[in-house]
Amino acid sequence: MNIGFLGLGGMGAAMAGNLLKAGYQVSVWNRSADSLKPLLDQGAIAAQDPIDALRNDVVISMLADDAATRSVLLDSGALASAKPGLIHIGMATLSVGLISELVALHRERGVTYIAAPVFGRTDVARAGNLNILAAGPAEAIAQVQPLLDAMGQKTWLLGEDPLSAAVVKIAGNFMIASAIETMGESAALVKSHGVEPSQFIEIMTSTLFNAPVYRNYGPQIAEQRFSPAAFRLVLGLKDVGLALEAGQSRHVPLPFASVLRDSLLEAVARGDGELDWTALARIPLRRSGQD
């Protein structure tokens, strides 16, 4: 099974690297060619363009957002030139609107689309321990399951409709952002009363909130350790926007998502957009005069 891989940011490069380690032939493409060399050194083949990458049996895309996905797959003519029978695994976090459009366009070309966004940061991706949310034709998912196994520790099957995987990913990221916001506000509260945020976070993650999101992000918030970014704050803003869009499309109010969006916008306006999204915790400190 020959694989094309589009998008070699921190996540994509790690995932493509694990496919190479598993012995697959992988043809890689990225808008910035600087990311290619480490993978080429591992045995990857450089695709000339997205059209070239789609000449494989399976293509995987891990592109930054809707705009990048539209540019690389649609505007370039790559999908229009794809051969019938190709399986496309879309692993980025995209809007429900674009997913719906992609499903229809793939169907017109005789190409199978599987939505398979992931939970896990770059370190988790490098270790091959991602949790993968997969939705699409069951036969196609079964065919590419060995590829998913090479990149993740578990595949969560969510039925035949790719929208199901997309909305679970969006809702999950909304919950993570909400946890970061509440940790940031709580840390600012205890600090104002003379309690060290690090002690507070240790207590919370050892008792009430002994869960990966709190254990991983809590110490970063307590220590104000926002660089290097494992997940950039601007991407968090994008994902909360996707949650609001998905809610609006089905008339589901998400009032706290609106609060989060405004806090993330404030963080970007203050120059924190390229920091890790835990830098959202700076906002409560600033508002209370403690930063």
Residue ending a domain, among 116, 144, 159, is: 159
What DSSP character marks residue 230? S
Given the residues 21, 83, 169, 238, the one annotated as active site: 169
Cβ–Cβ < 8 Å for 169, 197:
no
Assess whether 21 carries a catalytic annotation.
Answer: no
Q: Are residues 138 and 30 in the same domain?
A: yes
Q: Are residues 101 and 178 in the same domain?
A: no
Q: Are residues 10 and 126 in the same domain?
A: yes
Q: Are residues 151 and 254 in the same domain?
A: no
Residue ending a domain, among 135, 159, 183, is: 159
Q: Residue 164's pLDDT is what?
A: 98
| Through-space distance between the first and last CA atoms of the chain, rounded to whole angstroms | 53
Q: Are residues 48 and 89 in the same domain?
A: yes
Q: 45 in helix, strand or coil?
A: strand
Q: Are residues 13 and 147 in the same domain?
A: yes
What is the 3-class SS of 127-160, one letter each residue? CCCEEEEEECCHHHHHHHHHHHHHHEEEEEECCC
CATH code of residue 173: 1.10.1040.10
Q: What is the pLDDT of residues 184-236, one digit of tens each?
A: 999 999 999 999 999 999 999 999 999 999 999 999 999 999 999 999 999 99
CATH code of residue 20: 3.40.50.720
Q: What is the pLDDT of residues 223-256, one digit of tens each?
A: 999 999 999 999 999 999 999 999 999 999 999 9
Q: Are residues 178 and 155 in the same domain?
A: no
Give the Cα separation of 68 and 90 in Å (integer). 12
What is the 3-class SS of 71-119, one letter each residue? HHHHHCCCHHHCCCCCEEEECCCCCHHHHHHHHHHHHHHCCEEEECCEE
Q: What is the pLDDT of residues 6-59, one digit of tens each?
A: 999 999 999 999 999 999 999 999 998 888 999 999 999 999 999 999 999 999
Mean of pLDDT values over 177-181: 98
Cβ–Cβ < 8 Å for 16, 47:
no
Q: Are residues 114 and 171 in the same domain?
A: no
Cβ–Cβ < 8 Å for 87, 114:
yes
Q: Are residues 182 and 260 in the same domain?
A: yes
Q: Are residues 107 and 223 in the same domain?
A: no
Q: 53 in helix, strand or coil?
A: helix
Residue ending a domain, among 114, 143, 159, is: 159
Q: Residue 291's pLDDT is what?
A: 82
Q: Residue 217's pLDDT is what?
A: 97
Number of domains making up the chain: 2
Q: Are residues 12 and 112 in the same domain?
A: yes
Note down the domain range covering 260. Answer: 166-287
Q: Are residues 153 and 171 in the same domain?
A: no
